[in-house]
Amino acid sequence: MSAKFKEYSPESRIDDFYYDDWGRDLMSLRATCRLFRAICSLLKIWRSDSFSLAHLLLNPRDLRMRSAFNQRALNLLRCLIEDRVLYETFSSRVTWSIVSIQMLYDLFDEIPRVRDNLKRFCFQDFTETRPDLISGDDSAKTIKDAIALLQLCPNLEFIQVFRSGTVVPLDWISECCPSLKTLHLFILCYSGSLSEHCNLRHLRIENCQLFRQERLLPLASAETLKSLQANYTLYNSGDEPNFTQPLTTFSNLTWLHLSPLTNSAVDMLIQSELPNLRAFLAVLCHNEEIGANRISQLFSSSSFNRLQILSFLVDPDRQMFRFDPDYLIKPITSNLSSTLEYLNLTLEIDTAWFAHIKQLFQLKVIYWNVPPDDYLIFDNPELVPGGESHEGLDGNVCLQSSAVGVVEELTEAASSYFGSGHKPTLEIFVLTYETFDRWWQSAFVLEESGFEMDPFDVSKTFTISQQYLAN
């Protein structure tokens, strides 16, 4: 017997949890007879990291109070753990996802062993998307109460907070969860900083509300931090993250992901000393003007002299450096020639640029996204018969052709530059109208387990995004 259910992700809508048919079917099967109940108790669903009690809370639209929602969740939990098999399964789970802070209190009260085994805690505030459930509960717990309760979990290593309706106090997390190694913050506001006494290794700040932040980066957590991913939401065209302090204190930082890349971020990185930086991922939006000299200064700074992974994604709407190799290609190839192994670009393309790219002697893989219906320049017109000739930047006659349908010719033209010598794997993708909105998504996805290897192996710190494998 098997059942399908949706994998939990930070982007999941809360309503997705309530109306999955598998939840209704599962509870119906359990109520059929003792045999079916026994069989259902052995399903892998209960042990999956994606499981949440909210999957089984059916049809809550008639509820109008948070207290009623919490009581229903408690009744469900008590019903399930009457089954000794499920009680043992829940007791040994290391990952729990909840949508109400009171549910965490009830979980610890009903199954005390959860506190000892809990390693990964995911919280999504359902009141943020269901404000009709807030009223009528004067004793509602806060996110600070939940963090305080997590002090009882000696093995807690991972916390994810998604769409909390209140400000998340980082200093309180540091005080209550000293063993914490990974912290993910999605679509919320935070305050304070992470204490230098915490043992945090990986910090991800995703879509946080820029205009409310007291401090963009919690610099006090610097010495232990190995990966930092910061993605800020810009509410107005004039807004940009104002990074005022260099990252020099992040002496062990290996992976850095900034979106959007801004002038203040470039200034911060040029002034920083990051001796262990191996991966840099950046997104350059259409409303950010960063000059060619600033890009050149960035890649020639001391923090980048050991870089092995680079993902530089440029908004397809930008036209200021159309087919100009001096803007991005030459700064990369002239400064990272002896270290760079993995390269990911979203950029218009001139096949003549591969004469520069072949100078990256250590390069193993190139993932290149080409905007749709923009122009490609082929330095060999014979590769694309029937195209339109034009004079290139170097004075040579080049050919322009629509990006759609020329991936094979483009790959052949680019590969020809490498000859019989060192030739990296080359994957070129033309963005379609269906995939255009994902131009900013990097091919490289952080794999935290790779940081624990000794000696450090940079190839183990990332996996390739499923959207690239699918193509």
pLDDT tens-place string over residues 134-153:
544 545 678 888 999 999 99
pLDDT computed for residue 126 by the predictor: 64
**pLDDT of 4 strictly over 70:** no
Instruction: Give strand ranges (E) for 90-131.
Output: 95-98, 120-124
Amino acid at 34: R
Rounded CA-CA distance 93/226 in Å is 27
In Å, what is the CA distance from 335 to each residue of 269, 325, 436?
15, 14, 30
According to DSSP, the β-strands at 120-124 and 375-378 are unpaired
Q: Confidence band (pLDDT; 50, 70, 90) for 270?
A: very high
Q: H or E stretch including 347?
A: none
Residue from 194, 152, 159 nearest 175 by CA: 194
Residue spans per domain, the chain: 1-126, 308-471
Instruction: Kindly report the backbone phi and psi dihedral angles of residue 203, in degrees, each rounded to the nearest multiple of 5, phi listed first.
Output: -125, 125
- 3-state DSSP: the chain helix, strand, coil percent, rounded to 5? 35, 20, 45
Tokens of 385: 């018969």
Listed ranges 98-107, 218-227, 286-295; the one with the highest mean pLDDT: 98-107
Rounded CA-CA distance 49/400 in Å is 50
Beta bridge partners of 397: 391
Q: H or E stretch including 361?
A: none
> Which region among 38-42, 128-132, 166-170 has the lowest average model confidence (pLDDT)?
128-132
Averaged pLDDT, 435-439: 81
Q: Under a CB-based contact definition with an 8 Å cutoff, are residues 155 and 118 in contact?
A: yes
pLDDT computed for residue 175 by the predictor: 86
Listed ranges 157-166, 286-295, 327-336, 413-422; the one with the highest mean pLDDT: 327-336
Averaged pLDDT, 333-343: 95
Q: Confidence band (pLDDT; 50, 70, 90) for 375?
A: low
> Which region among 6-20, 145-159, 252-266 has the lowest average model confidence (pLDDT)?
6-20
Q: Under a CB-based contact definition with an 8 Å cutoff, are residues 341 and 364 in contact?
A: yes
Q: Under a CB-based contact definition with an 8 Å cutoff, are residues 285 and 254 in contact?
A: no
Q: What percent of the chain has pLDDT over 70?
A: 73
Greater confidence, 445 or 166?
A: 445
Residue from 205, 248, 207, 246 nearest 229 by CA: 205
pLDDT computed for residue 24 by the predictor: 73
Contacts with 421 (C-beta within 8 Å, 6 or more apart), sequence order? none
Averaged pLDDT, 216-224: 64
Rounded CA-CA distance 23/57 in Å is 8
According to DSSP, the β-strands at 462-464 and 444-446 are antiparallel
Tokens of 470: 């699918």
| First-residue to last-residue Cα distance in the chain | 33
> Which region among 57-71, 126-140, 173-187 has the lowest average model confidence (pLDDT)?
126-140
Q: H or E stretch including 462?
A: strand 462-464
The model's pTM is 0.83
Rounded CA-CA distance 444/20 in Å is 31
Rounded CA-CA distance 370/99 in Å is 40
Rounded CA-CA distance 451/228 in Å is 13
Rounded CA-CA distance 84/347 in Å is 57
**pLDDT of 292 strictly over 70:** yes
Tokens of 77: 């939990």
In Å, what is the CA distance from 403 to each residue of 73, 407, 425?
53, 7, 20
Q: Confidence band (pLDDT; 50, 70, 90) for 262?
A: confident
pLDDT computed for residue 212 by the predictor: 45
pLDDT computed for residue 236 by the predictor: 52
Rounded CA-CA distance 446/438 in Å is 17
Contacts with 161 (C-beta within 8 Å, 6 or more apart), sequence order? 123, 143, 168, 184, 185, 186, 188
Q: Under a CB-based contact definition with an 8 Å cutoff, are residues 185 and 204 in contact?
A: yes
**pLDDT of 345 strictly over 90:** yes
Quote the mean pLDDT of the chain. 78
143-146 long-range contacts, Cβ below 8 Å, gap at least 24? 143/101, 143/168, 143/169, 144/169, 144/172, 145/101, 146/101, 146/104
pLDDT computed for residue 9 by the predictor: 41
Q: Confidence band (pLDDT; 50, 70, 90) for 196?
A: low
Rounded CA-CA distance 232/285 in Å is 12
**pLDDT of 15 strictly over 50:** no
